[in-house]
Amino acid sequence: MGSDPNSGQCAFRHATTSYELGSDPISPIGVFDSGVGGLSILRALRAHLPHEDFSYLADSGFAPYGERDDAFVVERVRAVAQRLLDDHAVKALVIACNTATAAAIHLLRDELPGLPIVGVEPALKPALALTRTGRIGVMATRGTLASAKFRSLHDALRGQAEFLLQPCDGLADAIENHDTGAIAQLCTRYAGALGRFGTGPGEIDTLVLGCTHYPFAQRELRSLVGDAVRIVETGQAVARQTRRLLEAASLSKAGGEGSVSYLSTGDLDKLRLSASRWL
């Protein structure tokens, strides 16, 4: 399907009827992000759920989310969810974006009762189980770090480790545009701002990637933090939770080879290029 920059302008409608259209095991799973970052989640989903079909929508015409206010993000999340329900009758929804999850997942769950909805959040709890030095770096968008959802998660773990929070303005956009020079420069800047990495006393031994775009810069980050540092992302946990929800709702697709439909509100060719490169 081609891109449609204006597809999400309408107000959100309660989608009970649309959800009923998608309450069939052969219906696809909807996955969306502000751009190509959610492909890191899609990669994990396809590995865990090889029989399932997916409709992946990149809201690139309205990106980035991470540097926008909550009202803008909520409007976009509602519009994208509506499109996936109306046009693709999805049976479940994966919000493959930390910023969108923080701003809007609670609203979608209230407005779409019965629809399995899975979000993402920075993997602070898994990182806590991995760290030995007690110092954990967190790279995320400014919007994610400022959200009430993240603050609640951070506050609940306060005192169990030292979390060093680094907003990474521009990094998701550089990854979105395959700007290798900017990716390397920004990774160097933000990793340096966090402090010293390593496994010795006082060093950061675990790095949380709090944006779904950032796993696609993992090679650059690994060269900066060293091989001994644990780098934690959320794709595997999201895939496992999606599988659990589908099984609980008797919506798992049995057999067959899964497929992916790619959709965009921006440049569809860029999304396809990113998918062919990273998936």
Q: Is 10 considered catalytic here?
A: no
Give residue 22's pLDDT.
52
Positive or negative CA dihedral for 100, 38, 64, 136?
Answer: positive
For the chain, list the domains and their CATH numbers.
16-120+235-278 (3.40.50.1860), 124-232 (3.40.50.1860)
**Is residue 30 within 8 Å of 57, Cβ to Cβ?**
yes
pTM of the model: 0.86
pLDDT digits (tens, 9 = 90+) for 78-136: 999 999 999 999 999 999 999 999 999 999 999 998 899 999 999 999 999 999 999 99
pLDDT digits (tens, 9 = 90+) for 3-48: 333 333 333 333 333 445 456 899 999 999 999 999 999 999 999 9
Give residue 20's pLDDT.
52
Write out the chain in H/E/C secondary structure. Answer: CCCCCCCCCCCCCCCHHHHHHCCCCCCCEEEEECCCCCHHHHHHHHHHCCCCCEEEEECHHHCCCCCCCHHHHHHHHHHHHHHHHHHHCCCEEEECCHHHHHHHHHHHHHHCCCCCEECCCCCHHHHHHHCCCCEEEEEECHHHHHCHHHHHHHHHHECCEEEEEEECCCHHHHHHCCCHHHHHHHHHHHHHHHCCECCCCCCECEEEECCCCHHHHHHHHHHHHCCCCEEECCHHHHHHHHHHHHHHCCCCCCCCCCCEEEEECCCHHHHHHHHHHHC
Q: Is 187 considered catalytic here?
A: no
From the candidates 10, 168, 187, 211, which is the catalytic residue? 211
pLDDT digits (tens, 9 = 90+) for 141-162: 998 899 888 999 999 999 999 9
What is the Cα gyration radius of the chain?
Answer: 18
**Ramachandran area for residue 117 (φ above 0: left; ψ -120 to 50: alpha; else beta):** beta
Calculate what percentage of the chain has a pLDDT beyond 90: 80
